[in-house]
């Protein structure tokens, strides 16, 4: 596959607010084998396959960003592991790890396909993954994901751990759904040597009335956890938006991702690319740049590099997420699966 990244360490991209952009999240597909209620409509209309970037184009796009200073690359979806032949992309991108141009190649997954891919991911240099899991109750899991099989996800997590991959659990805090399970999720994750992060519901895509009622501020979650365990602030950072606490009794960490109650924009170091080559400089804004056109316009990367520079130059200070109970309108109209998790 095409490799545009230089062998010397490049200078990082700097946005208008002085932030170094060194973290790229790339959606390889908008498709998923789940239909999580806070992420997708039940009857999603997916993109025609012809509109998606090829795996070779995704490789070239990622390589162009690595040449411009990206050090952490996360593949997302939809569900990235349902894309046909996706492991060829992981194997190709792993060359950037081998030569030291990339610090981390990782993935966010729902875990449904992990059992068959975990060993291959580890062989590609993937050392850390995020698995989205909101409940350990099979009935609730089926209700939240609409189609998901909890046992398959748990087998996938065990396969990843057996392959030597560090797993972090991501759980969306849902009032009236998994609210009573949060302590149990922490105990389970820490018992298996996994960190866990809780995420506030974000107003992306069509917001049903139930979504509004399920919003649970993580300030309340943290207060409840502090009633059971001794929590202390942690200096641990992963390059993402989570802020961590250490749990004295378990020895594990809990992360809090709070786009609603306390945004993390001041330290934002990331941008997102969709599976069609659209670059979003902010998850919570509609401004975007088309990278597919310059990517396909020339075999050289000059046009692509210029398009990336122009986009980074207009990265906003932050998002304006708000749950609007009066109009019930989302902050942005696209679903999370369209942007990339």
- Count of beta carbons in the 10 Å neighbourhood of residue 35: 17
Could you tell me which residues come within 8 angstroms of residue 309 by beta carbon, excluding any fewer than 6 positions away? 13
Q: What are phi and psi of 302, to 5 degrees?
A: -60, -50
Ligand-binding annotation for 9, yes or no, is no
Ligand-binding annotation for 271, yes or no, is yes
Helix axis angle, 86-98 to 114-123, nearest 10°: 30
- Count of beta carbons in the 10 Å neighbourhood of residue 45: 7
Ligand-binding annotation for 237, yes or no, is no
Helices (H) and strands (E) in the chain, counts: 11, 14
Ligand-binding annotation for 28, yes or no, is no
Ligand-binding annotation for 38, yes or no, is yes
Ligand-binding annotation for 124, yes or no, is no
Asked if residues 326 and 206 have their Cβ atoms less than 8 Å apart, the reply is: no
Ligand-binding annotation for 78, yes or no, is yes
If we measure between CA atoms, which residue out of 172, 177, 152 comes closest to residue 81? 152
Ligand-binding annotation for 39, yes or no, is yes
Ligand-binding annotation for 268, yes or no, is yes
Ligand-binding annotation for 62, yes or no, is no
Asked if residues 202 and 258 have their Cβ atoms less than 8 Å apart, the reply is: no
Ligand-binding annotation for 19, yes or no, is no
Using DSSP's 3-state secondary structure scheme, residue 281 falls into: coil
Ligand-binding annotation for 132, yes or no, is yes
Ligand-binding annotation for 272, yes or no, is yes
Residues of each annotated binding site for GTP:
25, 74, 108, 168, 270-272
Residues of each annotated binding site:
25, 32, 36, 38-39, 74, 78, 108, 132, 168, 202, 265, 268, 270-272, 282
Residues of each annotated binding site for [4Fe-4S] cluster:
32, 36, 39, 265, 268, 282
Residues of each annotated binding site for S-adenosyl-L-methionine:
38, 78, 132, 202
């Amino acid at each position: 596959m095409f490799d545009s990244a230089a062998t010397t360490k490049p200078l990082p991209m700097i946005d208008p607010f002085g932030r170094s952009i060194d973290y790229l999240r790339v959606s390889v597909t908008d498709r998923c084998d789940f239909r999580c209620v806070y992420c997708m409509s039940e009857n999603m209309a997916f993109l025609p396959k012809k509109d998606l970037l090829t795996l070779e184009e995704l490789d070239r796009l990622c390589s162009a960003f690595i040449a411009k200073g990206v050090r952490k690359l996360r593949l997302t979806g939809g569900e990235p592991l349902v894309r046909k032949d996706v492991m060829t992309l992981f194997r190709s991108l792993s060359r950037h790890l081998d030569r030291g141009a990339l610090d981390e190649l990782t993935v966010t997954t729902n875990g449904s396909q992990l059992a068959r891919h975990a060993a291959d991911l580890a062989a590609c240099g993937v050392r850390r993954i995020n698995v989205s899991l909101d409940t350990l109750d099979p009935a609730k899991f089926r209700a939240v994901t609409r189609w998901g099989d909890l046992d398959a996800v748990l087998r996938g997590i065990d396969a990843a751990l057996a392959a030597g991959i560090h797993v972090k659990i991501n759980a969306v805090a849902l009032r009236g759904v998994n609210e009573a399970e949060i302590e149990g999720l922490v105990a389970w994750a820490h018992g298996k040597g996994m960190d866990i992060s809780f995420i506030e519901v974000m107003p992306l895509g069509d917001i049903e009335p139930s979504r509004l009622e399920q919003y649970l501020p993580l300030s309340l979650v943290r207060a409840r956890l502090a009633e059971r365990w001794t929590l202390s602030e942690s200096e641990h950072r992963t390059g993402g938006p989570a802020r961590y606490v250490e749990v004295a009794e378990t020895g594990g960490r809990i992360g809090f991702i709070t786009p609603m109650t306390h945004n993390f924009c001041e330290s934002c170091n990331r941008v997102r690319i969709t599976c069609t080559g659209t670059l979003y400089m902010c998850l919570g804004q509609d401004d975007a740049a088309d990278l597919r056109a310059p990517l396909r316009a020339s075999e050289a990367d000059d046009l692509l590099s210029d398009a990336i520079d122009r986009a980074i130059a207009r990265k906003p200070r932050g998002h304006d997420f708000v749950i609007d109970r009066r109009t019930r309108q989302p902050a942005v109209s696209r679903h999370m699966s369209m942007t990339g998790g």
